[in-house]
Amino acid sequence: MKAGNSITMADSAPSDAHSDRIVSLLSEHAELERELADPAVHTDAARARQLGRRYAELGPIVATVRDLDATRADRDAAAELASEDASFAAEASQLDAHIAELETVLSELLVPRDPNDSKDVILEIKAGEGGEESALFAGDLLRMYTRYAERHGWKTEIIDVTESDLGGYKDAALAVKSKPGGSHSGVWARLKYEGGVHRVQRVPVTESQGRIHTSAAGVMVMVEAEDVDVTIDSQDLRIDVYRSSGPGGQSVNTTDSAVRITHIPTGIVVSCQNEKSQLQNKEQALRILRARLLAAAQDEADVAASDARRSQVRTVDRSERIRTYNFPENRISDHRVNFKAYNLDHVLEGELDAVLDALSAADMATKLAAE
């Protein structure tokens, strides 16, 4: 069965259809292990990070195959003993059940993954219909994602925000990055389901009659592009600088530190004013621009990615909702998978896993059905 860290492939796959792929993935994992053990590889940080991500992705598959091989060996031994001593029959039956569970897990692990699942993301949150109430809700969403990231040991960085008069956000950009010691799940793997229109139902702070209003905020989730992912020609950029402003147009800086970058070939415009210096705002704007360009390129290259992007926000209209946050009933509803729970207060504190698990499970069921 096993010799040192090697794995034999006899009976390791849940079906013959998966056998060749498992052999290939195990070989790839072993090769990655050898490469990562070479100190020379780590002189190239980007290359080492890429290899490390792939190695981590393959880890659960390798661990499950090893567990499956070991359990099958134990089952065969128990079955042999049961032929001589009936008391071992129950153990053999239990091991058969465990084998069935492991085969299910392995089948799910072998479903082709989104190649971006291990990557970091940039979330853009924009207020929509509802005026100040929508801006306040956008602030609630920003806080919810920040709290969720903290629960998973991820690092967050506010790239840029534009505040509203009452302390909400007209728009905000948040970078979320995994870090050593954090969750093994990729940031994109979890947060990619958040793109779309989020609707809120509650009594606004500006409502004097106590009536419930409905407003909306939009969330766009993008893979944070690395330098190797997107090349931007400086001649394709028009860069304008202007003076930062706060709520009500009140001046924040006395220098022209805010930056607006227009990518001429695509017409994409990104503005940043959160940092104190023009150079810092330019770098942050370029981060967002790279992410948007990468998303646009993926849309063109991959029909599946295009379908996923179409499910995200195009216009922040209440009728295009993916989720509703109902404060009077303390209810959260995700309309894509008919998920409903009455713990909205906890969700807004970052307890998003239940709804994300439901979305992930539905996604997995669709992929398994297509196998």
Give per-residue pLDDT as tens, 80-126. Answer: 999 888 888 999 999 999 999 999 899 888 888 888 888 899 999 99
Structure tokens at 281: 């705002």
Average pLDDT over residues 1-21: 50
- Go through 130-161 and write b for each residue having 16 or more CB atoms within 10 A of its CB, e for each that does not: bbbbbbbbbbbbbebbbbbbeebebebeebbb
Domain 121-366 matching CATH 3.40.50.150: the answer reads no
State mean pLDDT over 284-302: 84
353 pLDDT band, cuts 50/70/90, is very high
Look-up of token digits 């419930």: 212
Q: Percent of the chain having pLDDT more than 90?
A: 56
- What is the rounded distance in angstroms from the CA atom of residue 71 to the CA atom of residue 73? 5
pLDDT for 179: 72
Domain coordinates of the chain in residue numbers?
2-109, 121-366
Read off the pLDDT of residues 237-258 as tens digits, 9 standing for 90 and up.
Answer: 999 998 876 654 444 555 678 9
Q: What average pLDDT score do residues 359-366 get?
A: 89
Query: Residues 207-232: what's their mean pLDDT?
Result: 85
Percent of the chain with pLDDT over 70: 85
What's the pTM value of the predicted model, to 2 decimals?
0.71
**Among 187-191, 248-252, 276-280, 323-327, where is mean pLDDT lowest?**
248-252
Judged against a pLDDT cut of 60, whether residue 71 lies above it is answered with: yes
Please name which of 112, 127, 115 lies closest in space to residue 247, comparing C-alpha atoms. 127
pLDDT in tens, 328-341: 999 999 999 999 99
Angle at 191 between CA 268 and CA 226, to 5 degrees: 50
Q: Comparing 11-20, 175-184, 310-319, which segment has the lowest mean pLDDT?
A: 310-319
Q: How far is CA 162 from CA 64, 111, 170, 246, in A?
A: 47, 41, 5, 7
In this prediction, residues 291-314 reach a mean pLDDT of 65
Residue 138 has phi, psi (to 5 degrees) of -60, -40
